[in-house]
Chain A
């Protein structure tokens, strides 16, 4: 696998500055060589002074790369539970290591690199490790063996097994000096004499045959190492019994180590299609990753649910009447899905006939299969038909319609067209992976986030129904100063005037123009310089491959994704034939995603146009990867401030549904004066800013501080009740008796945290004023009336392709029994409301196409469109109400959706308590204000 990959990466134009292959042609492998150290590489990329990046081996033949390396703690957690004692010790060590890495900043380099360096310095590393020329015959490297395997000599097989190795464990138990590292570190037992007798080999070193596996060792945990296998290399360094201990002793710290084994009992069936197999094994890792370990169960559950995706051709070749010839692709192959496949005749007929009769294309149909209702969505393009069928119970029809559109769009983004995605044999395993992920997301949304905390997991799973199909990316509003910093960093990257890339420096065209980039942090978009369509294309791609939750919950050690993409924004033939209008160059586009810890930076590159034309299937270019990585390193300092923003109290303030339930022993009408609520209100205000307290809610906070005699009794009991249902910590904390001091201190904190940027007051002169205003702004509740009655919201800014909704942290603060249900119901209801809005948008589009001539036609009056606002009132009560004598308390809340067509397309969904009448337009104004990319 590796050797074709290398070829792929070398297909970039020769003499390219910074291309590792060309650099190494004329240099000695001496690491001290000044040319290789500083001359050819920019000062920022010291990581790559003498080595190819570790992802290079993973580059596929077509230039694509999907390389993911989790940070150490995540890797450890992905392995089955280790004995607790070790684990604790390990994490202690881990913390220290982390701190080192961060403080020393530049010293931080990928572990493998350090390892290799050490090896080199000890002269352990053979020179050929640099892979000077992959066609060279001499070296007995693993690569060569693999190419043998491809050419058909399938006597010996090699397998790579990644195991987690933590030498720090040794230092703890270093009592014995004579430890065998192979046993202790990796858990492989090798008995020298025995193997000698057997193999009869002697001399420079004998084969490292695995004679046994240590219980609980990394090798056993991996499940891939069998007794009888022969260990031939560690991280591509050839090993024998002679040098193994030395090699292993060079491992500096906890890390993943690649062990290469010669497999004694080769599995025969793998011989048929080595390339596809490889791709699949690659991809199955990726599936496992976001889902953790309970993969098998999940998959089995999913297999029992009828679901299908098919790509059918409508043009049948009547002469060659092969069985199933109209099926160009289908997934999965399972009994439950077989039936859906067998009735494809229905879909084909409907597609053909209904279009003839009605003049419009069929969009969906619904069937009853074994008593289960299945929706099938249709997507027709030219003479091909894409079908996705899913049970109605799991996926409501409006969601399915959005999903098929997403799938079609993503595939077009990745492959250019549906035809090129489905009709090429080598894509089949990739598509299998794609749809495997797709169906897992659709059918088991909770499993996807299994690594997260329960509240986050629930929030993600219940919001996915709506958020996954919104034409936008989840946006995190940040204070102005951070925004400026991020903008600058991205602009610097996009300018691409680093030395090697300037045309003057090498007197040649640069490889790619950077069209734009967008930065994600923990799955939130925090900065984007991409056109809306590109941004959404990329976001949908990331969503499909579960990259966003990955970055949110797991610290990424290193992620590098590279692939050619086909962004619709650039590839659409421009409607305007006017030559003065900017014409898109006939270029090719590449997507580069680099992830580091919680950051993910997506860069869209253009070849052709200003840059040189791309030839063949270029792999990722080290320079560009380096530069993106450097940008991320630069932003290391910012993440603490972003985390601060995430941890700060919600803006706009949110309430938890359970608080309202507790107070509902009184009548609903009393709610507005309920002591708990005013208490809550008061405390929230204290937590935010005294300035505005005086200005806006003075009397209330005074009352809560010193309860007037008339209401003191109720206030006390209410307070207890409030605490009983779990107030968020920061509100209870500020209820102390010396409120003024506390609030003063809190003010300083909150001033820094001012989160909603005010675009009109960014100037320095007005800084003081604007900060005050911001404070008022922050505390401004979205809802009217004295209480904060807002439970949840989603605001979609369609033009910019972003939406905002409470963060995971904000939702996690509002724990309760009712609240999670409310959030789930909110998203489901919003999906229905949005389906109504989408109908309106379709009608509006039609109207616009007709030139608005019929705008006054009476016909349109008879339908509900154009709908601009739609709300539903719900009542809910606690689930397990045990008290038989009393009726359960009831809480009523609205879910309201509002569609804005003018001045620009916006959608707002809010959920608030019934006690106060709200006007959606006003809430929208507050939410959308200042919401700009």
Chain B
């Protein structure tokens, strides 16, 4: 990758709102966790400006420089999270959602009670260490996109019904309603109750599993941030023998042999009501750009489309109510052609909204611009039975 200094850096700061004591700082650089930290004075002033505003009943939300975006957010008047990102294509939307996920992760592993009622800062600091791994996975490059879309990353298994049956049986045997089968952070199958889990735990749990070291079975205590944030829950991650076939599915998301147009370099399908998504950058993996770049393109494009064009998804009540009323002009699709002037270089991105489904496609340069929408519509129809 490029040379030093050109890469994006992300700094995440967590402070106790009342005292201003830093609880932890995490950083990443170029998509990988980094040790480099902000000087204490900077942390102090970042928190200071936010607090200063709050005292005057002005809530500072974000600030931008030419290449960096800063977002402040305080949770339950007890925890202040600040993120400072100079990654390319970063945006307030992305960072705000990141902070929501980070706070969710803290609740998941420490419990809300501990966070809203800080009695011993030093002890809390120690407890929060357990969440570093999960939090770092949000800062760095991830194969998943659920943190941004707030939808659960899923894969479509070849024999869905069979797995579903087996899973239900297991749930009964284990005496719990919440069971899911996860392959590298993506849900293959889950029980009804599992799907009823709210945000952000539905995204966080598979993500947590994905961030754990590989092992055959795991027993991990968690707090659910949304459903029952103070209740200790135990669950198991089973690996059933006949399901080994699912393993290679991981990053492909779609069953092998699913017909996709050859121009498609990646796809992201969201079901905004079910809160699930399919995300893959596998197709035509041998072509440029690399899958890592493709994932970044998707993140940038999703952010652009969601922040500027499409109405925000359900689940963000504060924005939605008034927006719908005076939107007589409803955006349905959107495309973007990128790359240098020469024909045959660059790539195309297209987004299409149809009912609750939203499809984003990354296409190679040879795909004609005027055919983008047709191709997307066609693909969406083909994918509809899957999600």
Interface residues of A (CB under 8 A from B): 339-340, 342-343, 345-346, 349-350, 353-358, 360-370, 373, 821-822, 825, 829, 832, 835-836, 842, 854, 857-877, 879, 892, 900-902, 917-920
Contacts of B333 in A (CB 8 A): 872-873
Pick from A353, A866, A879: contact of B328, CB below 8 A.
A879
Minimum CB distance partner of A867 in chain B = B338
Pick from B52, B58, B346: contact of A368, CB below 8 A.
B58
Alpha-carbon gap, A290 to B288, bound state (A): 57
Pick from A365, A861, A869, A879: contact of B64, CB below 8 A.
A365
- The list of the 3 closest CB pairs from A to B, nearest first, reads A365-B63, A869-B337, A863-B88
Contacts of A825 in B (CB 8 A): 329
Contact between chains at A867 and B309 (CB < 8 Å): no
Contact between chains at A869 and B60 (CB < 8 Å): no
B86 within 8 A of A: yes
Pick from A355, A368, A876: contact of B59, CB below 8 A.
A368
Alpha-carbon gap, A900 to B331, bound state (A): 25
Segment at the interface with A among B41-49, B98-106, B202-210, B232-240: B41-49
Alpha-carbon gap, A362 to B60, bound state (A): 14
Contact between chains at A362 and B65 (CB < 8 Å): yes
Alpha-carbon gap, A857 to B2, bound state (A): 6
* A to B CB contacts below 8 Å, 7 in the list: A346-B49, A357-B42, A858-B1, A863-B296, A864-B349, A873-B373, A879-B328
B77 within 8 A of A: no
B248 within 8 A of A: no
Contacts of B89 in A (CB 8 A): 862-864
Contacts of A901 in B (CB 8 A): 341
Interface residues of B (CB under 8 A from A): 1-2, 6-7, 38, 42, 45-46, 48-49, 52-53, 56-68, 70, 84, 86, 88-89, 92, 288-290, 292-293, 296-297, 300-301, 304, 308-309, 328-341, 346, 349, 369-371, 373
Contact between chains at A367 and B58 (CB < 8 Å): yes
Contact between chains at A346 and B60 (CB < 8 Å): yes
User: In the assembled complex, how far is the CB of residue B121 from the closest CB belonging to chain A, in whole angstroms?
Assistant: 25
With A361-B65, A367-B60, A858-B293 known, 5 other A-B pairs at CB within 8 A are A343-B56, A367-B59, A835-B308, A863-B297, A868-B346
Contact between chains at A864 and B297 (CB < 8 Å): yes
Pick from B68, B304, B340: contact of A864, CB below 8 A.
B304
- Known: A363-B65, A365-B64, A367-B53. Is A874-B332 also a contact (CB below 8 A)? yes
User: In the assembled complex, how far is the CB of residue A277 from the closest CB belonging to chain B, in whole angstroms?
Assistant: 35
Minimum CB distance partner of B44 in chain A = A353
Contact between chains at B62 and A366 (CB < 8 Å): yes
User: In the assembled complex, how far is the CB of residue A392 from the closest CB belonging to chain B, in whole angstroms?
Assistant: 10
Contact between chains at A876 and B61 (CB < 8 Å): no
Contact between chains at A369 and B58 (CB < 8 Å): yes
Contacts of A875 in B (CB 8 A): 329-332
Contacts of A354 in B (CB 8 A): 63, 65, 68, 70
Alpha-carbon gap, A358 to B58, bound state (A): 25
Pick from B56, B290, B330: contact of A876, CB below 8 A.
B330
- Known: A862-B89, A864-B89. Is A343-B52 also a contact (CB below 8 A)? yes
Alpha-carbon gap, A633 to B297, bound state (A): 59
Contact between chains at B63 and A362 (CB < 8 Å): yes
User: In the assembled complex, how far is the CB of residue A705 from the closest CB belonging to chain B, in whole angstroms?
Assistant: 32
Contacts of B290 in A (CB 8 A): 858
Alpha-carbon gap, A364 to B60, bound state (A): 12
- Known: A360-B65, A361-B65, A859-B7. Is A349-B45 also a contact (CB below 8 A)? yes
Contacts of B53 in A (CB 8 A): 343, 346, 367
Alpha-carbon gap, A346 to B48, bound state (A): 9
Contact between chains at A864 and B335 (CB < 8 Å): no
- Known: A349-B49, A354-B63, A832-B308. Is A872-B2 also a contact (CB below 8 A)? no
Contacts of B349 in A (CB 8 A): 864
Alpha-carbon gap, A860 to B329, bound state (A): 34
Contacts of A861 in B (CB 8 A): 288-289, 293, 297
Alpha-carbon gap, A349 to B47, bound state (A): 11
Alpha-carbon gap, A788 to B308, bound state (A): 29
Alpha-carbon gap, A860 to B297, bound state (A): 10
Alpha-carbon gap, A342 to B290, bound state (A): 50
Contact between chains at A863 and B300 (CB < 8 Å): yes
Contact between chains at B335 and A871 (CB < 8 Å): yes
Alpha-carbon gap, A858 to B292, bound state (A): 11
Contacts of B301 in A (CB 8 A): 864
Alpha-carbon gap, A920 to B369, bound state (A): 9
Contact between chains at A859 and B2 (CB < 8 Å): yes
